[in-house]
Chains A and B, each alone.
Chain A
Amino acid sequence: MGQVEAHSAPGAQHAADDRASEPALIEAVHVTAGYDNRREHTRLIALRDVSLQVRRGEFLAIVGPSGCGKTTFINLIAGFVKPIEGSVRVRGEEVTGPGADRAMVFQDYALLPWRTVERNIRFAMENRRGHVPKAEQAERAARALRLVGLTGFEKSYPHELSGGMRQRVGIARALVTEPEILLMDEPFGAVDAMTREAMQAELEKIIAETRQTVVFITHSIDEAILLADRIVVISKRPGTIREVIDVDLPRPRFDEQADVQRSPRFGEIRSHLWSLLADEALGAKQEVATR
Chain B
Amino acid sequence: MTETIQGATRTNDQQNGQQIESIEVSRFARFKNVGITVVNLAVFFVIWELVARAEVINSLFFPRASDMFAALFNGFADGTIWPQLSHSLTNFLIGLAISAAIGIPVGLLMGASKIADLILSPYVWAMTSLPRVALIPLLILIMGFGNSMQLTIIVLSAVFPIMVNCMAGVKTVEPSLVRAGVVFGASRLQIYLKVILPYTLPFVISGVNQGIARGLVGMLIGELLGGGGNGLGFLLDRAGEQFDAPMLYATLILLAVMSVGLVQAMRWLEQRAAPWRDISRA
Contacts and interface: CB of A to CB of B under 8 A. Distances in A.
A156 B279 CA distance: 13
Interface stretch (A99-107, A208-216, A222-230, A239-247): A99-107
B198 interface: yes
A127 B15 CA distance: 32
A78 B183 CA distance: 8
Interface in A31-74: none
A123 B280 CA distance: 21
Contacts of B274: 114
Using C-beta atoms within 8 Å of the partner chain, give the interface range for chain A. 20 to 34
Contacts of A274: none
B184 A128 contact: no
Contacts of B183: 78, 98, 102-104
A179 B183 CA distance: 11
Given A130-B184, A157-B276, A159-B276, A110 B177 contact: yes
A140 interface: no
Contacts of A123: 180, 184, 194
A183 to B, nearest CB: 8
A110 B174 contact: yes
B58 interface: no
Interface stretch (B2-10, B42-50, B151-159, B185-193): B185-193
B22 interface: no
A110 B180 CA distance: 6
A152 interface: yes
A80 B182 contact: yes
Contact of B16 (A102, A112, A151): A151
A128 B190 contact: yes
A148 to B, nearest CB: 12
A137 interface: no
A124 B181 CA distance: 8
B21 interface: no
B18 A127 contact: no
A127 B184 contact: yes
Interface string B159-180: 0000000000000001011011
B195 interface: yes
B198 A114 contact: yes
A3 B199 CA distance: 34
Given A112-B195, A112-B198, A152-B15, A98 B182 contact: yes
Contact of B185 (A80, A114, A128): A128
B55 interface: no
Contacts of A100: 185
Interface string B13-41: 10110100000000000000000000000
A113 B15 contact: no
Given A152-B13, A152-B16, A110 B179 contact: yes
Contacts of A112: 177, 180, 194-195, 198
A137 to B, nearest CB: 13
A257 B125 CA distance: 67
Interface in A117-169: 123-124, 127-131, 149, 151-152, 157-160
A173 interface: yes
A108 interface: yes
Contacts of B277: 113
A106 B180 contact: yes
Contact of A127 (B174, B177, B190, B279): B190
A152 B15 CA distance: 9
A96 to B, nearest CB: 13
A131 B185 contact: yes
Contacts of A113: 276-277, 280
A181 B276 CA distance: 32
B205 to A, nearest CB: 13
Contacts of A160: 279
A159 B184 contact: no
Contacts of B174: 108, 110
A104 B176 CA distance: 11
Contacts of B279: 159-160
Top 9 A-B pairs ranked by shortest CB distance?
A129-B185, A127-B185, A110-B180, A159-B280, A130-B185, A110-B176, A124-B184, A127-B186, A113-B276
13 contacts: A80-B179, A104-B183, A106-B179, A108-B174, A112-B180, A112-B194, A124-B185, A127-B186, A130-B184, A130-B185, A151-B16, A157-B275, A177-B185
Interface of B: 13, 15-16, 18, 174, 176-177, 179-187, 190, 194-195, 198-199, 274-277, 279-280
Given A78-B183, A104-B183, 20 more contacts: A80-B179, A108-B176, A110-B176, A112-B177, A112-B194, A113-B276, A113-B280, A114-B198, A114-B276, A123-B180, A123-B184, A123-B194, A127-B181, A127-B185, A127-B194, A128-B186, A130-B184, A157-B275, A157-B276, A160-B279
